[in-house]
Amino acid sequence: MGGRSREGYRGKLALQMMFVEVNKGYAPEMMRIAEELSPDEVQINTPLRPCAVKPLTPEEIAAIRQEVTGLKGVVTVYEALRPEVTPFNLKETLRRRPKL
């Protein structure tokens, strides 16, 4: 696979793009590159777990999604279904992720 083409690649191509305040202005350019790659799926994410940076709002992520015109299979972190998960060890999980 050379350049920005997926020619010759027969597997599933999925892109995960993480957006925060410092890179959200690059969304139009990143989406143009994604369109050139023709992935099967694009996931537009922002960190929802506790971390050093603040997540973008659902409205900001929706605005980024609007930059996508020629792709199918686009989903945002706020649209994706979240599976019901039961931790094996709730005490340990809460130690690592206090906001379960």
Q: What is the pLDDT of residue 1?
A: 42
Look at residue 4 and tell me whether its pLDDT is greater than 60.
Answer: no
Q: What is the pLDDT of residue 2?
A: 47
Domain ranges of the chain: 14-96
Lowest mean pLDDT among 7-21, 28-42, 76-90: 76-90
Query: pTM of this prediction?
Result: 0.74
Residue 38 or 19, more confident: 19
DSSP assignment of the chain, as one string?
Answer: --TT--TT--S--EEEEE-BTTTGGGHHHHHHHHHHH--SEEEEE---SS-SSPBPPHHHHHHHHTT--S-SSEEETTTSPPPP---S-HHHHHHH-S--
Residue 78 or 97, more confident: 78
